[in-house]
């Protein structure tokens, strides 16, 4: 098999694997942005830097954020599987929860944080249950 | 698959926007309440986030913080990428100043610098949106468009296999934001203002990114200078063991960031 042939097969393989996974992240991201949209009217600026991926049941992911005391933040998360259950937390470096307010509606959730100090915090996302082997997820955030 | 590790997918035009994790940066939350939680990235804030707090703390004279002169692309792409980051940060200052003409000028400069590093096509529409939003004095929208411009530039660079250069755009923005933050806090020192500089995770993140760059980029004199200065900055922004960021620390940080900005601007200002 020629090198070119191998490369093309590899690319096709990558497309076959990545295509569905990205589609699912795309869906989750759309729902997360939908969750965020009402907050634009309340003066929140929604960041373009999103986190996401796909996880199996029981897996969790944490992403570090630099937050500034004096700002108010909302983190919005969503999954691409209707019946999936997930948990979204925002914690400090010791794992202490920081939520000032939270809501969960179907495949979307939101957490409000008023950081007590300036520093780095962690957004922790966990899939608790899902009918699918992998569940696409996304988190976006906004500040004001 | 993580959104932040979709580099290969971005190359084939399928990726969702998002920052990309550097290999080997994973660590764990230190506490015992969430053991074994993998942390694989840092989301770098836009300068507008910290400027918003400054506005609440002291209502600075934002116009006085705007730079004069027209930054021009350098032959050196690393310098141009850093410069582009500083100019996007300037856009956030102009938003705080609600200076329509300055935002429009910055929108055009973003486009010129993007052209110089080969990502003009991805930024044209965004540059126009920035200018339109400024004309409408829709400041939250301008802030959002500047953020989108940053993401567009970085995504386009990643597509061009220039991911490391994209990191320099973020770094340039952070340096300019730090210069402004230290200037404002230094001019009317307060503990609350100084606390905004508590950003060791970001310093570590940028240091790690530079350390992971290829030898050609890492050996660039400007990048090398910044890497050295980040080592000086790191202890100044730490607040471990009850230490607080002092007036002297703020002044030292201001000097370092201003010097670095001067180096970035050298040979590029008209």
User: In chain B, pLDDT over 70 holds for what percent of residues?
Assistant: 84
Sorted by where each starts, the structural domains of chain A and their CATH numbers stand as 3-143 (2.60.120.380)
Kindly report, residue by residue over A32-85, the tens digit of the pLDDT.
999 999 999 999 999 988 899 999 999 989 999 999 999 999 999 999 999 999
Kindly report, residue by residue over A79-121, the tens digit of the pLDDT.
999 999 999 999 998 888 999 999 999 999 999 999 999 999 9
Complex ipTM tops 0.95: no
Largest CA distance in chain B: 54
pLDDT in the model for residue B60:
94
What does the alpha-carbon distance between residue A121 and residue A63 come to, in Å, rounded to a whole number?
8
Touching check for A66 and chain B: CB below 8 Å? yes
Q: How far apart are the first and last CA of chain A?
A: 58
Q: Are residues A70 and B45, on separate chains, in Cβ contact within 8 Å? A: no
Kindly report, residue by residue over B72-85, the tens digit of the pLDDT.
887 889 999 999 99
The DSSP string of B232-267 is HHHHHT--GGG----HHHHHHHHHHHHHHHHHHHTT
pTM (2 decimals)?
0.85
Q: Which residue among A18, A68, A95 sits closest to B196, beta carbon to beta carbon? A: A68
| Tokens read off for B138 | 């829709």
- Quick one: how many helices (H) and strands (E) in chain A? 1, 9
Per-domain residue ranges for chain B? 71-265
- B114 pLDDT tier (thresholds 50, 70, 90): very high
Q: pLDDT higher for B79 or B269? A: B79
CA distance A104 to chain B (A): 21
Residues in CB range of A23: below 8 A, 6 or more apart: none
Touching check for A22 and chain B: CB below 8 Å? yes
Q: Are residues A91 and B34, on separate chains, in Cβ contact within 8 Å? A: yes
Q: Which residue among A40, A49, A71 sits closest to B52, beta carbon to beta carbon? A: A71
pLDDT in the model for residue A48:
84
Top residue of B12, B20, B34, B138 to mutate, by most chain A CBs within 10 Å, is B34
The DSSP string of B101-160 is HHHHHHHHHHHHHHHHTT-HHHHHHHHHHHHHHHHTT-HHHHHHHHHHHHHHHHHHHHHT
Q: pLDDT higher for B173 or B122? A: B173
Is the pLDDT at B169 greater than 70, yes or no?
Answer: yes
């Amino acid at each position: 098999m020629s090198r070119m042939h191998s490369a093309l097969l590899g690319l096709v393989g990558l497309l076959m694997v990545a295509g569905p996974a990205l589609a699912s992240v795309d869906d989750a991201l759309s729902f997360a942005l939908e969750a965020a949209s009402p907050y634009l009217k309340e003066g929140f600026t929604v960041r373009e830097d999103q986190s996401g991926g796909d996880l199996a049941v029981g897996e969790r992911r944490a992403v570090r954020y630099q937050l500034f005391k004096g700002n108010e933040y909302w983190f919005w998360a969503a999954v691409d599987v209707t019946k999936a259950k997930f948990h979204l937390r925002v914690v400090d470096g010791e794992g202490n929860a920081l939520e000032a307010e939270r809501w969960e509606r179907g495949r979307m959730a939101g957490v409000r944080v008023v950081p007590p100090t300036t520093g780095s915090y962690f957004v922790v996302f966990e899939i608790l249950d899902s009918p699918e082997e992998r569940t696409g997820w996304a988190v976006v955030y906004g500040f004001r | 698959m993580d959104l932040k590790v979709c580099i290969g997918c971005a190359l084939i035009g399928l990726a969702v926007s998002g920052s990309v994790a550097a290999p080997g940066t994973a660590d764990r939350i230190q506490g015992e309440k969430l053991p074994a939680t993998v942390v694989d990235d840092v989301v770098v804030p836009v300068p507008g986030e910290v400027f918003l707090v400054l506005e609440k703390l002291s209502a600075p004279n934002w116009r006085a913080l705007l730079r004069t002169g027209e930054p021009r692309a350098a032959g050196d792409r690393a310098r141009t990428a850093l410069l582009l980051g500083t100019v996007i940060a300037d856009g956030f200052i102009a938003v705080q100043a609600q200076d329509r003409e300055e935002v429009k000028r910055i929108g055009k400069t973003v486009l010129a610098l993007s052209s110089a590093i080969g990502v003009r096509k991805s930024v044209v529409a965004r540059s126009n949106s920035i200018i339109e939003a400024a004309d409408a004095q829709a400041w939250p929208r301008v802030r959002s468009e500047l953020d989108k411009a940053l993401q567009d530039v970085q995504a386009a660079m990643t597509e061009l296999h220039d991911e490391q250069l994209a990191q320099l755009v973020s770094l340039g923005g952070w340096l300019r934001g730090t210069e402004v933050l230290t200037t404002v806090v230094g001019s009317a020192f307060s503990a609350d203002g100084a606390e905004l500089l508590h950003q060791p995770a970001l310093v570590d993140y940028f240091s790690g990114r530079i350390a992971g760059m290829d030898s050609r980029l890492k050996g660039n004199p400007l990048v090398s200078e910044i890497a050295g200065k980040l080592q000086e900055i790191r202890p100044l922004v730490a607040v471990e063991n009850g230490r607080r960021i002092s007036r002297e620390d703020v002044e030292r940080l201001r000097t370092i960031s201003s010097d670095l900005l001067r180096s970035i601007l050298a040979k590029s200002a008209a």
